[in-house]
Amino acid sequence: MGSNLINLFSPGIVRYVESVLTEGRVGVCSGAIHIKDITTGCSSLIKSPCADRFRLVIPYAGHSVTWEVLFNSNVPDEPPDFIFGDPNFIPDIDNIQSLVNWEPADPKGLIYVVSELLEEYKKYQESILRNISRMQFEYTSLLEVFEESKVEVIVMHRTERQVGPINFLIRLPVDFSRIPTYLTKDNPGEDAAVLLVTYETADGTKVTPQLFLSPRVEQCLGGATMLRIPHLTPSHCLIDYVPIVCELVTNTVDQVVASFEKRQEYIATFLGHFGRCVVEYDVEAFSKISFLMEWHDFFFLITIDLPRLFPAQCPVFTFQSVYHEAVDGQPYSKVVSDYPYSPRWTSREMAERARVYILDHIAGFQKGSVTQGSLQQ
């Protein structure tokens, strides 16, 4: 929301609105709260900013709930009233301590109230599940393993003929703290993986799981679609399925960390052998290193590129002459990616074998640059 819309609000309540927009992240997914349908209860004769009514769009269980908030700009220190979209949701106001003990001087007052109301809304959704045996079983089973604060549920449609869809949103307990900092430094925010499971009907005969990653995690792991979570059949229970997805994400994080550590060791080994010849190397991701080398008065560059999926994928060597150019006018070079290699070797063994391979093939590269290239002008 732009500053021009902020300026519509009555000065007495604008601080609550700004706090919601800048700090209002709630629920399992820590989603942002949005504001729409800004109106006022003031007389139309008042020309100064006087908006004091609006709707909050609040993320919850892979869905969103919309609640109307009604302040009174004439008495801005009074707590707001609420109109909820579901007529059956009637929270006990006495349980909302931040509303009962409203602190008008606290800009976060509205955030506190919304957070407590969401807890009441969650209890309301839990009460609906008690009459849906299959869904109640799935939910109570999850709570035996996962923290209640990490699971949300919502029954989005309920009539005499149909109940559903029903959403379960689970925040997976995965440790992302080990991810190398170079992968996350340019993408602020928290690290999270949430699993959304949607049952189209109460009997669970049609179910769809979806994995969502926070932007930082998605960048680090290559996207949620790359993980390819397993199919969830109606006969499977969430208590068995969710740990499988959690393990999949954890293993992927482990692979990212292991790849980084192996690249680091690989580069360190080459630095130990050819440290005086280094032109440059990647000091953050350890994905590339270049050397200026000499063999029998023949100078050439060797660049080693370590792929993202190293060690599953082998490093790529690029030999480049400093004297000769190819027919296209570019420096004469040769790219090598097919050589003796095993991902099961240690990083030091990989680097040592690569060193031997490079030294054994310098003569062939020199000959090729002379016979197939031309001297640079």
**DSSP class of 363:** H
Residue 269 lies in a domain: no
Secondary structure of residue 95 in the 3-state scheme:
helix
Chain segment 37-93, per-residue pLDDT in tens: 999 887 664 567 889 999 999 999 999 999 999 999 889 999 999 999 899 999 998
Q: Is the pLDDT of residue 199 over 70?
A: yes
For residue 233, the model assigns a pLDDT of: 93
Query: Which has the higher per-residue pLDDT, 309 or 147?
Result: 147
Same domain for 63 and 163, yes or no, is no
Same domain for 205 and 244, yes or no, is yes
Same domain for 146 and 106, yes or no, is no
For the chain, give me the number of helices (H) and strands (E)?
9, 16
Angstrom distance (rounded) from CA 215 to CA 103: 35
Residue 355 lies in a domain: yes
Taking the model in full, what pTM does it have? 0.85
Q: Is the pLDDT of residue 281 over 90?
A: yes
Residue 273 lies in a domain: no
Mean pLDDT estimate for the chain? 90
- Give all strands (DSSP E) within the chain, no chain letters: 25-26, 31-32, 34-39, 53-60, 63-70, 81-84, 151-155, 166-171, 193-199, 207-213, 278-281, 288-295, 298-305, 316-325, 331-336, 374-375
Same domain for 18 and 47, yes or no, is yes
Residue 262 lies in a domain: no
Residue 288: other Cβ atoms inside 10 A: 17
Residue 137 · residue 204 · CB < 8 Å = no
Same domain for 204 and 239, yes or no, is yes
Domain boundary among 253, 279, 306: 253
Same domain for 141 and 245, yes or no, is yes
Residue 280 lies in a domain: no
Same domain for 33 and 83, yes or no, is yes
Task: Please calculate the CA angle 259-175-23 and round it to the nearest 5 degrees.
Answer: 120
Domain boundary among 91, 118, 145: 118
Residue 261 lies in a domain: no
Counted domains in the chain: 3
Residue 303 lies in a domain: yes
Angstrom distance (rounded) from CA 356 to CA 308: 24
For residue 45, the model assigns a pLDDT of: 47
Same domain for 246 and 314, yes or no, is no
Beta-sheet pairing, 193-199 with 166-171: antiparallel
Rg for the chain (alpha carbons), in Å? 30
Residue 347: other Cβ atoms inside 10 A: 18
Residue 201 lies in a domain: yes
Among 108-112, 261-265, 320-324, 355-359, top mean pLDDT goes to 108-112
Same domain for 218 and 298, yes or no, is no
Domain boundary among 208, 230, 253: 253
Same domain for 95 and 144, yes or no, is no
| CATH number of the domain that residue 59 is part of | 3.10.110
Same domain for 142 and 108, yes or no, is no
Secondary structure of residue 356 in the 3-state scheme:
helix
For residue 274, the model assigns a pLDDT of: 86
Q: Among residues of the chain, what percentage have pLDDT more than 70?
A: 94
Same domain for 109 and 135, yes or no, is no
In terms of residue numbers, what domain contains 292?
A: 287-375
Residue 139 · residue 126 · CB < 8 Å = yes
Tell me whether residue 282 is exposed, middle or buried, using C-beta atoms within 10 angstroms of its C-beta: 0 to 12, 13 to 18, 19 or more: middle
Chain segment 107-133, per-residue pLDDT in tens: 999 999 999 999 999 999 999 999 999
